[in-house]
């Protein structure tokens, strides 16, 4: 075979690679524009719609509305999908969030998760030292005699959470209490948190909720 023929034989392959590269390059700016547009749309939704209740940056003031700032994107996406699919079902979730989430596309949900995960959290709220000490003890050690596990085992030593478990640090105590009651009664039907909450008494829940609210 002459070298010309060999080169010709290789031609279609090299064209194929170059062609693919050109396609990738050509589509890249479009893709970047599209994801910037989705990011901007999510910011507009967050500040213009969600912000009424959750605060424009996710640092809500009213304890009925959970703080979303600094929460993990994966957890936020999971919850928004649970509202959209109507599986997170206590009365406030049904009344406030099912409708809110029903019109959000998966792309917007992902971008909202990113938006809130990037927002700065505020300082913790003051609670008296004795309550904080009781709450911290429960958070770090659970109540072995009651079969209550240490919360820190999943939510992390400083309650900052991770990709699998939500952040609890700085969350409104009132909201945390309401969620623990919902896990207990299975209105928010999550097996692992039902197991954790089933033997907690009201004063124990209050102490751990106050401790969590006091964290930055």
Write out the residues near ligand HEC by the rule CB under 6 A.
45, 49-50, 52-54, 64-66, 68, 76, 78-80, 90, 92-93, 96-97, 100, 112, 148-149, 151, 153-155, 165-166, 168, 176, 178-180, 190, 192-193, 196, 208
Nearer Cβ to ligand HEC (128/163): 163
Nearer Cβ to ligand HEC (19/91): 91
Handedness of CA 171, 175, 180, 182 (dihedral sign): negative
- Please report how close the Cβ of residue 125 comes to ligand HEC at its closest, in angstroms: 16
Nearer Cβ to ligand HEC (54/136): 54
CA distance 19 to 68: 44
CA distance 88 to 69: 20
HEC letters along 135-168: HHHHHHHCEHHHCECCCHHHHCCCCCCCCCCCCC
- Please report how close the Cβ of residue 10 comes to ligand HEC at its closest, in angstroms: 53
- Please report how close the Cβ of residue 182 comes to ligand HEC at its closest, in angstroms: 7
- Please report how close the Cβ of residue 46 comes to ligand HEC at its closest, in angstroms: 6
Nearer Cβ to ligand HEC (20/102): 102
- Please report how close the Cβ of residue 82 comes to ligand HEC at its closest, in angstroms: 7
Nearer Cβ to ligand HEC (14/62): 62
CA distance 146 to 198: 10
* Alpha helices in the chain, H assignment, sequence order: 3-45, 51-54, 73-84, 91-92, 98-102, 106-117, 129-141, 152-155, 173-184, 191-197, 202-214
Shortest CA distance to 121 belongs to which of 74, 159, 79, 81? 159
CA distance 186 to 92: 14
């Amino acid at each position: 075979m002459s070298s010309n023929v060999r080169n010709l034989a290789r031609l279609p392959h090299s064209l194929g690679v170059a062609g693919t590269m050109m396609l990738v390059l050509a589509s890249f700016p479009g893709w970047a524009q599209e994801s910037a547009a989705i990011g901007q749309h999510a910011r507009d939704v967050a500040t213009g719609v969600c912000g009424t209740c959750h605060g424009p940056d996710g640092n809500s003031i009213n304890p009925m509305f959970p703080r979303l700032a600094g929460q993990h994107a994966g957890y936020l996406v999971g919850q928004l999908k649970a509202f959209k699919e109507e599986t997170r079902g206590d009365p406030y979730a049904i009344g406030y969030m099912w409708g809110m989430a029903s019109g959000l596309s998966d792309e917007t949900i992902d971008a909202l998760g990113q938006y809130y995960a990037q927002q700065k959290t505020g300082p913790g709220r003051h609670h008296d030292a004795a309550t904080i000490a009781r709450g911290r003890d429960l958070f770090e050690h659970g109540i072995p005699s009651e079969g209550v596990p240490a919360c820190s085992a999943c939510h992390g030593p400083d309650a900052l959470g991770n990709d699998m478990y939500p952040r609890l640090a700085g969350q409104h105590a009132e909201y945390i209490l309401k969620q623990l009651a919902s896990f207990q009664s299975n209105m928010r039907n999550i097996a692992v948190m039902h197991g954790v909450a089933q033997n907690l008494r009201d004063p124990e829940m209050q102490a751990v909720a106050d401790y969590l609210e006091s964290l930055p």
